[in-house]
Structure 1
Amino acid sequence: MAFRSSRREFLQASAVAGVGFWVAGGVRAEESKSPNEQIQFACIGVGGKGQSDSADAGNSGVVVAICDVDDRTLEGASKRFPNAKKYSDFRKLLEEMGDKIDAVTVSTPDHVHAAAALMAMRMGKHCFCQKPLTRCIYEARLMGQVAREKKVQTQMGNQGTANPALRRAAALLKKNILGTVKEVHVWTNRPIWPQGGERAAEQPVPPYLHWEEWIGPAKFRPYAPGYHPFSWRGWWDFGTGALGDMACHTLNMPYAGLDLRNPVSVQAETSGHNRDSYPKWSIITYEFPANDWRPALTMKWYDGGKLPPKELFTEFEDPKAPTASGALIIGDKGKLYSPGDYCSEFKIVPKDLVVPEVEFERSPGHFEEWVQAIKTGKAAMSNFPDYASPLTETVLLGNLAVWVANEPGVGAKVEWDAVNMKSTNISGLEEIVKPVYRPGYELDV
């Protein structure tokens, strides 16, 4: 441990000696060619989004270890990183390579995020973790706490955070450009995977798949089609449904601009579900309390083909509005509409509304921002303690309302005590907030 700690200081000192700090309008640091000064990465999950995350790691340092539960995926990654040691169990990777790595990327199904990231951070490793940060609210809280305690640099994979348009829109909202905001609408075209049905019949585990490791911390179930490699998102034990999959992207700009933290209640209308697979669609209403600079407001989330009323978009004179996904913020002086998931653009009405110039820090790129955080100690925007963990808590609270609304129609309102992570009016939600983990994957130490 002492060796890695001193190496962390060495990496930061090397960056400071060069052009290490990134600021608005700044320049990118020159990359060192010395192996001792390069960040050494382990990549946990190298398929799907893990393919681009590991590529970013390889472009930012040296990938010394790769891990995946699918041998086909692992072999493909091995061709890209021929010198990296291969693993199918992240625990073994971290145990054996702990003194040889500085940072990890975690790009697994949602249910493995916390187990892998927490083990790495407790060893003092910097961590980039895909969105949503975790599967459960308790895990999100714990990830932020451990990152802060261990003083590691972190970043969640909600890459729209780096968009100049998102940062500008958030800065404008903090300037009250729309006046008093009372209403926010956010929607997605997800799910684009099967959801709301029954489990498929058990089948033999394919020879290339390490099923025990794929299950990881979740309750064990036999292998069947419909989980790996993509459709796990639609199952309560493994994924977070359409809400968890996309809200860390599409809600990101309103969250940043309006401090959408610690909701006091959530209520869902759904198509109904069996509490094993998520519903085909849902509409979730969040209530946020007033904070020290804005009044209380309501946010509505829509998925599965549900959309905000079209008349809310009349002033934008856009026949395509609302698009398949996006965000709309309504104030008493105007509206802000961002089509798409990542706030790469936005529009404000009325057209004669005076839009001031605002200052905001520009990002060198989402992954690069994390790399520079490792080198300089300057936290990335979507770091776990200050940004990603509370965002994920906000997002995942909606799934408590979805759980309650298992019958078609509107479910009961869940009153929420955010500080203590518990409902004040509905019992039986404790295991959704903090599940029981399989032996060998416990999160509390």
Structure 2
Amino acid sequence: MGKKDVIAPQANKMSRRNFLTTSAVAAAAFAVVPRHVLGGPGYVAPSDRINIACIGVQGKGHSDIRDVSPGNNIVALCDCDETKIASLYKRAKESDPIWYEQLKKARVYSDWRIMLKHQKDIDAVTVSTPDHTHAPAAMWALKRGKHCFVQKPLTHTVYEARALAEAAKEAKVKTQMGNQGHSKEGARLINEWIWDGAIGDVTEVYCWTNRPIWPQNIPQPKEIPSVPLSLNWNSWVGAAPWRHYHPAYHPFAWRGWLDFGSGALGDMGAHIFDHPYWALNLKDAATVQASCSKYNDQTFPMSSMITYTFPARENMPACKLTWLDGGLQAPRPEELEPGRKLGDGGGGMLFIGTKGKLMAGTYGSSPRIIPETKMKEYVRPAKTIPRSPGIHEEWVAAIKENKETTSSFEYAGRLTETMLLGNIAMRMNKSNQILQWDGPNLRFTNSEEATALVTKEYRKGFELDG
């Protein structure tokens, strides 16, 4: 344990001094104390209040912390950039002073490994970091018996998705991926209508997004600027191969870099790809092929078209799913009335069945059979899928009431595995090869080069084994 690892329990004002503590002070702070002592006279059983540690506090991290806080204890906050902690406090103080006071009681860290190794009162963990840190942080938590909520995409590689699903099953904890559209009404309507036969047998699906909205197809910077004093750069790089700090990576610009992000597909696939995956009971793809715009060996391309094929499933026929990003979009169906938007401003999906077509926006919002005359004629079936209180609320209730979540690592792991096959195909774009996938064995039967991309190497100290 060293500098930039632990921040002492918060004073009213954050400073460089209280952000960095020596290893001696940090070690003293974490003598093992029984939980009933930590809780004191007002200790509440874990079944009533969950002790939650949050890794990553800005962007989706902020909303994750906010949405899991009610009725629970935020006992630890971790972010490698102290300015993000300060921003969280500022926003909390302005929006909800009571929540702000709760957050101030949490221990603060800049290295999630130190937090998970030494703080013993944690029941559950949220992970809202760049993609490359999702699996290592979640795996370390699972190995210690913590319930886990991980932002989308669940993992950075196909192998990690399988590994997390298996680890979660072994740990017997409650898990959830943060693809909030999965909990919305639109997702359930799409399923119920398709299962009702509203558009017949679905044989083809298009999914598209307006992403990327960040830089891609750019060269690796040659400049080596100074690391900001507020930033624990070693912790930020984490499991990825070491490289020098540059603002081209942090903050936010990491999504386009192969070592850190998952591109447009990783960012929005869990929100859009999710709906046909669920509604059509998809499992392992049979094949995947990509066609991309020009790109380099450091970043994702500015646009891509990725085609998956799936075998027949039970009473559903074989189907093809095409993913489009970077300004590409599904062909406009002739059934769609002039002047009417296909999907929404952020993207959408189009299901093509033997008896009709159904479209929806990003997150599965506003599903409609097209044309609208058919939508009005359609007699909707009974609502058979339980409605969700929300993606975070589901997870909290699952922990407290021993319920199941709908985007658990079992489901989200399979979805992420399939989704990220597209990124492997994209990296194999130069060959324009149709890759044949053997899901049970996590390998491509016709490409050793592609199979090598199913997993990756981990920098020492950030290995996946926890």
Normalising by the residue count of structure 1, what TM-score does the alignment of the two structures yield? Answer: 0.88
Q: Which amino acid in structure 2 is aligned with residue 35 of structure 1?
A: V
**What residue number does 2:415 align with?**
391
> Judging changes above 3 Å, is the alpha-carbon distance between structure 1 residues 313 and 155 closer, same or farther for their aligned structure 2 residues?
farther
Q: How much has 1:358 moved relative to structure 2? A: 3.6
Q: Which stretch shows the higher mean deviation, 221-230 or 137-146?
A: 221-230
Partner SS state of residue 314, structure 1: coil
Q: Which stretch shows the higher mean deviation, 266-275 or 241-250?
A: 266-275
- Cα distance in structure 1, aligned partners of 2:453 and 2:368: 38
**Are 2:290 and 1:290 equivalent residues in the alignment?**
no
**What residue number does 1:338 align with?**
360
**What residue number does 1:174 align with?**
195
Contact 2:343 2:360 (C-alpha < 8 Å) held by counterparts: no
- Cα distance in structure 2, aligned partners of 1:257 and 1:398: 20
Partner SS state of residue 429, structure 1: helix
1:5-24 per-position Cα deviation (integer Å, ceiling 9, x unaligned): x99xxxxxxxxxxxxxxxxx
**Residue in structure 2 matching 1:75, options 83, 86, 89:** 86
Q: How much has 1:320 moved relative to structure 2? A: 2.0
**Are 2:64 and 1:53 equivalent residues in the alignment?**
yes
> Judging changes above 3 Å, is the alpha-carbon distance between structure 1 residues 59 and 313 closer, same or farther for their aligned structure 2 residues?
farther
Partner SS state of residue 440, structure 2: coil
Q: How much has 1:78 moved relative to structure 2? A: 4.8
Q: Any residues of structure 2 matched to 1:3-402 within 5 Å, and which?
A: 35-36=44-45, 37-78=48-89, 80=100, 81-97=103-119, 99-201=120-222, 202-310=224-332, 312=333, 314-324=335-345, 325-339=347-361, 341-349=362-370, 351=374, 352-385=377-410, 387-402=411-426
**What residue number does 2:10 align with?**
none
Q: How much has 1:263 moved relative to structure 2? A: 0.3
Contact 2:335 2:370 (C-alpha < 8 Å) held by counterparts: no
Q: Which stretch shows the higher mean deviation, 195-204 or 145-154?
A: 195-204
- Cα distance in structure 2, aligned partners of 1:57 and 1:133: 18
Q: Which amino acid in structure 2 is aligned with residue 116 of structure 1?
A: A
- Cα distance in structure 2, aligned partners of 1:164 and 1:78: 33
- Cα distance in structure 1, aligned partners of 2:142 and 2:400: 17
Q: Which amino acid in structure 2 is aligned with residue 393 of structure 1?
A: E
- Cα distance in structure 2, aligned partners of 1:429 and 1:252: 24
1:247-266 per-position Cα deviation (integer Å, ceiling 9, x unaligned): 10012221111012200111
Contact 1:400 1:414 (C-alpha < 8 Å) held by counterparts: no
Q: Which amino acid in structure 2 is aligned with residue 164 of structure 1?
A: E
Q: Which runs of 5+ in 2 are unaligned?
A: 1-31, 37-41, 91-99
Q: How much has 1:66 moved relative to structure 2? A: 0.3
- Cα distance in structure 1, aligned partners of 2:304 and 2:230: 36
Partner SS state of residue 35, structure 1: coil
**What residue number does 1:22 align with?**
none
- Cα distance in structure 1, aligned partners of 2:60 and 2:253: 14
- Cα distance in structure 2, aligned partners of 1:60 and 1:306: 44
Q: How much has 1:313 moved relative to structure 2? A: 5.1
Q: How much has 1:77 moved relative to structure 2? A: 3.2
Contact 1:78 1:84 (C-alpha < 8 Å) held by counterparts: no
Partner SS state of residue 328, structure 1: strand
Q: Which amino acid in structure 1 is aligned with residue 185 of structure 2?
A: P
Q: How much has 1:204 moved relative to structure 2? A: 1.7
Aligned residues: 410
Q: How much has 1:430 moved relative to structure 2? A: 3.6
Q: How much has 1:322 moved relative to structure 2? A: 4.6
Q: Which amino acid in structure 1 is aligned with residue 143 of structure 2?
A: R
Q: Which amino acid in structure 1 is aligned with residue 148 of structure 2?
A: C
> Judging changes above 3 Å, is the alpha-carbon distance between structure 1 residues 316 and 121 closer, same or farther for their aligned structure 2 residues?
farther
Q: Percent identity?
A: 45
Q: How much has 1:345 moved relative to structure 2? A: 1.2
